[in-house]
Amino acid sequence: MPSDPRIWLGGGFILLLFLAAVFAPLIAPFDPLEQDLMLATIGPGQEPGHWLGTDSLGRDVLSRMIYATRIALTVALVAAILACVLGTALGLLAGYFGGWLDALVSRLIDVWMAFPPVLLSILLVAVLGSGLHSVIVAIVVIDWTRFARVVRAETMQQAKLEYAEAAVALGMGRFGVLLREILPNVLPVVLVLLSLEMGIAVIVEAILSFVGLSVSTDTPTWGGMIAEGRQIIYQAWWVLVFPLAALFLTVLAFNQLGDGLREWLDPVLKR
């Protein structure tokens, strides 16, 4: 069992977010889309039930933040896993088989990483059209390189070790060595990258929501709430501060979980 508090604190906070997303209809005190102009920009705690106040349309900030968790975690989970699968597969093949395949994958990584990721994601979503699927596709297309580059280097190192050479000498096929011997040893690095990538995906979705290129404006998102709060910050600071704090804590939790997993799973750092 890991003893690093970063794993427990980061993982615990992320678990709470998942529970909030799953049970949002039961937890949220109000309908996140319900408007009441008579209660517009009510401060935190000034009206019974509105613990974090209301926005410019009288919608409950806490309820909208809880429902926005669903979008953030959906993008984090789906986009990060797809990018992980694609990047890990290409990194394993390129690192182990080398040759023209390694050269092709390496050139693709160099080309992809030459573009600023945020600007490229905005361009892709603008071309594909707004929507949750477009956001996920944009993140996968951009961030597979993070996994491919690291996994390729780790695979090349593992393939030179004695256990991999012994498996080949015993007659095991190359794909068998790759999947049964090398992949399990690369997996700890992949898990760390996956945790960090989830935090990155949350940020990218918030940026795209902020500029209006994510889901529809009616759907609560942290980025959309931050964009709205920025316009009325002097009248209702809480509309900006609370979703911004949720975004910051979520990304921090994923990063802390990734750092803790790296130290726990890496035998060198354990010493």
- SS3 call for 54: strand
User: What's residue 266's pLDDT?
Assistant: 66
User: What's residue 96's pLDDT?
Assistant: 86
Under-50 pLDDT residues of the chain: 268-269, 271
Q: What is the CATH architecture assignment of 5-18+35-270?
A: Orthogonal Bundle (1.10)
Cβ atoms within 10 Å of 70's Cβ, excluding its own: 18
* Contact yes or no for 74/82 (Cβ under 8 A): no
The pair of three-digit structure tokens given for residue 142, joined into one six-digit string: 């951009």
- SS3 call for 266: coil
Give pLDDT tens digits for 149-200: 999 999 888 878 777 778 777 777 777 778 788 888 888 889 989 999 999 9
